Amino acid sequence: MSTQNPDDPLPIDSKQVVNSKDPESTKEDTEDTSQSELSVSQSESGTSTLTLPFRPADHHSTMPAVRKQSVKKLPQATKARTWTWPSRNRPRPTLPDAQKRALRAQAAQDTLKVAQEIVDSCEGGFGISVKISHEKAKRLEHDLKHPKFPNWPTTQAKVVNKDTLDAALALRNAGDIMGIKSTARVCVLNFANAITPGGGWLNGASAQEEQICYRTTLGYSGILKEFYPWKPDEGLYTSNVVIFRENEDTGYSWMWTKKPEWLPMVAVISVAATSGPLLDRTNTKYAKDSERTLMEEKMRFTLRLAADFNHTRLVLGALGCGAFRHPAGEVADCWVKVLQEKEFNGWFEFIVFAVLDKKDGVNITTFKKALHNLEM
């Protein structure tokens, strides 16, 4: 770890920090408070404001204060039980690909409108979105006196055939993965596009990053244009991402948008794999050691960033194993190597790999064989 004050976040250039509402909110986020209950205040104009507890330990999973009157135009909420219905068990759409793409593009526009309503309704800012280099994500230290070191005795990885956000909701709500009743903040890994914010989500594409954008505030308030393009050793951290739609198999049905303070919130780390790495003749191995080394550095960067921002429950995945053509076996082996490095012992409570694939697909089969029940 760096020589900075351990209570401070990473040493980030202030010009790279984007606060959606209030430049003072970053300061407010670091202030401790013993408040543990909701409070309602009323202004002179009669506007009621609902204030939620806002502490450094849970500011990633708690909605900021919300003005009740500012959410009247939101769509009618539907009953949402995302964590109880594994996405692979839902009936698959039978629409032609072109029609599904058009519907996704329309969903993107609807999502932008509602995301703006949610973000604008929040008092005191909407968290931070930060561009960070690998160099600034310093190596973690094992020190029981370190205020951020949770010292979990053992971490066991799980691999599930789920959409990333569905897995995050399951982990957050102690759902169908661990069978644990407590809730905790969750940080998810976004397989980002280093050139275009959100990849092709505005045009109806359907990769992992696009699916996150269709359902959350990430595309509106997290992956901002001024951050792009990235260098190979850079990524983004977004502290507050609200989930307000279900997955594609439900037609992106709305969740509790009339009650934004009820909506689940996650943090997102956006990392971009290289596109089309050179492979060997079998197409199952990297042809150059430098490709594997860079992938491992991206994984260490993800884990260091999550730990530095106090996230103990992570949803990771098959980074680069889709359109970017990284071999699943190599990526899974990289995760195994990095997760078992001594540096990361004790920092995480639960790690889930969400690998959405057909039942016997290469990605899910490979990741389950390499990572399911892996102890670290």
Residue 13: other Cβ atoms inside 10 A:
11
Distance CA 283, CA 326 (A): 9
| CATH homologous superfamily for the domain 67-371 | Leucine Aminopeptidase, subunit E, domain 1 (3.40.220.10)
> Nearest to residue 245, comparing CAs of 215, 217, 284, 224?
215
Structure confidence at residue 142 (pLDDT): 75
Distance CA 9, CA 47 (A): 35
Structure confidence at residue 219 (pLDDT): 96
Distance CA 296, CA 290 (A): 10
> Nearest to residue 235, comparing CAs of 275, 187, 266, 268?
268
Q: Which residues of the chain have pLDDT under 50?
A: 1-88, 175-177
Structure confidence at residue 19 (pLDDT): 45
Structure confidence at residue 2 (pLDDT): 42
The tally of CA atoms less than 13 A away on the side-chain side of residue 357 is: 21
Distance CA 56, CA 34 (A): 11
Supply 12's token pair. Answer: 């980030």
- Tell me 245's DSSP state: B
Structure confidence at residue 150 (pLDDT): 87
Q: Which residues pair with 286 in a beta bridge?
A: 279
Which distant-in-sequence residues (6+ apart) come within 8 Å of 26 by Cβ?
17, 19, 125, 128
Helical packing angle, 289-308 and 328-339, nearest 10°: 50
Q: For the CA atoms of 173, 179, 185, 186, what is the dihedral angle to 10 degrees? A: -100
Structure confidence at residue 44 (pLDDT): 45
Structure confidence at residue 102 (pLDDT): 95
Q: Is the CB of residue 130 less than 8 Å from the CB of residue 17?
A: yes
Structure confidence at residue 95 (pLDDT): 83
